[in-house]
Amino acid sequence: MKKDNIFIDIITGKIKTDILYQDDLVTAFHDKNPKAPVHVLIVPNKLIPTVNDVTDQDEQMLGRLFTVAAKIAKFNNIHNSGYRLIINCNYHSGQEVYHIHMHLLGGQFLGPLLSII
């Protein structure tokens, strides 16, 4: 299982990336390999590898992922047409970066939820 985590370097500014939003709990930036016209990653500032690792203390941060997703969707004017939020967990989901992140995808019709290979 690959255990790369480049997101901490983006959050801390060690790697320069266009930060779309940042506060005390989360950071948002463009996915480097976009799968839709709008493809933003919303990431907790605290390293939590997978959804399996969340605790009750993370509930405020997890809620912030959604409120920031809604703000970014509105900013991109895709809030009415619609969008998809995805959080992958572990190998079968295809998770590549072991630092929880929410994908916000939109800007076109996204088709069926799952493509199973």
Q: Nearer Cβ to ligand AMP, position 53 or 96?
A: 96
Neighbours of 25 (CB within 10 A): 17
H or E stretch covering 106: strand 102-106
Q: 101 an active-site residue?
A: yes
Q: Compare residues 13 and 56 and give the one whose CB is closer to ligand AMP.
A: 13
Residue 95 touching ligand AMP (CB under 6 A): yes
Residues between 25 and 84 with contacts to ligand AMP, criterion CB under 6 A: 31-33, 41
**What is the DSSP code (8-state) at residue 42?**
E
**Distance (Å, rounded) from C-alpha 93 to C-alpha 89?**
6
Residues that bind ligand AMP (CB under 6 A): 6, 17, 31-33, 41, 88, 94-97
